Amino acid sequence: MLALLDLSYNNFTGSIPRCLSNLQNSLLVVNLRKNNLEGSLPENCYDGALLRTLDVGFNKLTGKLPRSLLNCSSLKFLSVDNNNIKDTFPFWLKGLPNLQAFTLRSNRFYGPISPPGQGPLAFPELRILEIADNKFTGSLPQDYFVNWKVMTEDGSLYMGDYNEIPGYIYEDTIDLQYKGLFMEQGKVLTSYATIDFSGNRLEGQIPESIGLLKTLIALNLSNNAFTGHIPLSLENVTELESLDLSRNKLSGDIPRGLGSLSFLAYISVAHNQLKGVIPQATQITGQPKSSFEGNVGLCGLPLEQSCFTPPTRQPKEEDEEEEEGVLNWKAVVIGYGPGLLFGLVIAHVIASYRPQWFVKIVGPDKHKETDPVTLFMSMDSRWDSFNNKNNKESNIIIMINALVVGLPACRPDQIRALVRFKNEFESRCCNNSDYFHCVMCDNTTGSVTKLKLPSDHCLTGILKPREVKMGKPTPFRTHPI
């Protein structure tokens, strides 16, 4: 009797003949993969059927999955990938106790993949689940994988070929996205444990129960809307070779434990919201940059973004220090400049007019007579009191006033003569600056050559018509202004 029907990789058209149901008591394998078959899967699987493999992938089938498949209790491999089947997730397939692999890739399946109100999904023998590129939505509960028992047991994959058909060597094959590439894999039921939920609209956090699947080799959750952190429990999936979490909304750091996975040959977390340092383990740093790009906060190899960039604010601080230095020097100049000038002028005036208290301190031999630089405009009527010890403070103020007005230089004896001349008049109505509007002295001899008196009648008295002798007989004329 016919046990294996393999019509794959042909160009058959039309629908699947219903007469195949007449052979279900003998058929173990039906492979119609990669043809141009149309219509829906027939409801022709009856109780007691021996069918173990049904592969109708890469056709143009429509409709829904027939519920009569539950009658095929021996079914281990079911592939309907790359068709136009429109249906919800077949939770009812959990009634097939021996189902080890099924793929729904690239159809029009929709809705949640978690049974509402029924507890965690239970596929005790399942080791391959491919539902990529559909329209599945919703989130996965944290205990989603707790009942996937066969993938939680060490060494459960390597079991020998189950399709032992006398006179035939048959291997189930499937197109898997593995290590970033699509490839046709043989012996899938004896060598692979894969989960591919990519290309859907799943959201929420990735369940921590994924870490229970010790024999999982490939995990692809890319192109969804998963959020939260990468599960720390992934470091317990010690057989993992391929991990693709790219193009989600994952945040936080990349778990360092991933670097301890000895068999991890491919990893991609590109285009998420991850941050921090990429774990510096050989399995991770050996990946291409494209595996980590699109995460603004990530740094470290293999990315060019270093985690130890020098502070960018240092040059600004140096500029501020330099600017502060310039301002400090300006303050020094502004503060000490006038003080230094003031001190030099005081010293020069004292040295020029030799007050008695100064001569007593310095000594007559130590003082060198010099011509005064200026004549005081606001000269006090008591010039002789300049030598009075009790008037030192006022005398210094007079000298400062003389510096400000800046009159021509005259010899000290000429100055004393002018004071005596001024004292011959009453000057109660005069301002201190009105005594002499202009005094002119000879630049060579230092003698007074011209004197202008104020014209506002502040000086009163009798002008004696005689020569005023100042040292040498040096007459000078007075001209009221």
Tokens matching residue 351: 């040295």
Q: Are strands 448-453 and 438-441 parallel, antiparallel or unpaired?
A: antiparallel
Q: What is the pLDDT of residues 150-181, one digit of tens each?
A: 898 876 555 444 555 666 778 888 877 777 78
Greater pLDDT, 345 or 168: 168
pLDDT at 318: 55
Which residues fall within 8 angstroms of residue 339, CB to CB, at 6 or more apart?
none
> How confident is residue 406, by pLDDT bands cut at 50, 70 and 90?
very low
Q: What is the pLDDT of residues 279-321, one digit of tens each?
A: 988 889 889 999 999 999 999 989 988 887 666 555 555 555 5
| Integer Cα distance of 338 and 330 in angstroms | 13
Q: What is the pLDDT of residues 238-258, one digit of tens each?
A: 999 999 999 999 999 999 999
Greater pLDDT, 92 or 325: 92
Greater pLDDT, 110 or 306: 110
Q: How many CB atoms lie within 10 A of CB 303?
A: 16
How much is the mean pLDDT over the chain?
A: 77
Q: Would the pLDDT of 416 be above 70?
A: yes
Least confident stretch, 159-163, 174-178, 414-418, 434-438: 159-163
Which residues fall within 8 angstroms of residue 167, CB to CB, at 6 or more apart?
none
Instruction: Please give the CATH number for the structural domain made up of 76-299.
Output: 3.80.10.10
pLDDT at 296: 92
The ranges assigned to domains in the chain are 76-299, 317-480
Give 244's strand partners: 220, 268
Contact status, residue 130 vs residue 107, Cβ threshold 8 Å = no
Least confident stretch, 41-45, 102-106, 297-301, 372-376: 372-376
> How confident is residue 77, by pLDDT bands cut at 50, 70 and 90?
very high
- The 10 Å CB-count burial string (b at 16+, else e) for 377-406 is bbbbeebeebbeeebeeebeebbebbbeee
Tokens matching residue 361: 């301190």
Q: Would the pLDDT of 366 be above 80?
A: no
pLDDT at 464: 61
> How confident is residue 477, by pLDDT bands cut at 50, 70 and 90?
very low
Greater pLDDT, 460 or 314: 460
Which residues fall within 8 angstroms of residue 68, CB to CB, at 6 or more apart?
43, 44, 45, 46
Least confident stretch, 113-127, 241-255, 439-453: 439-453
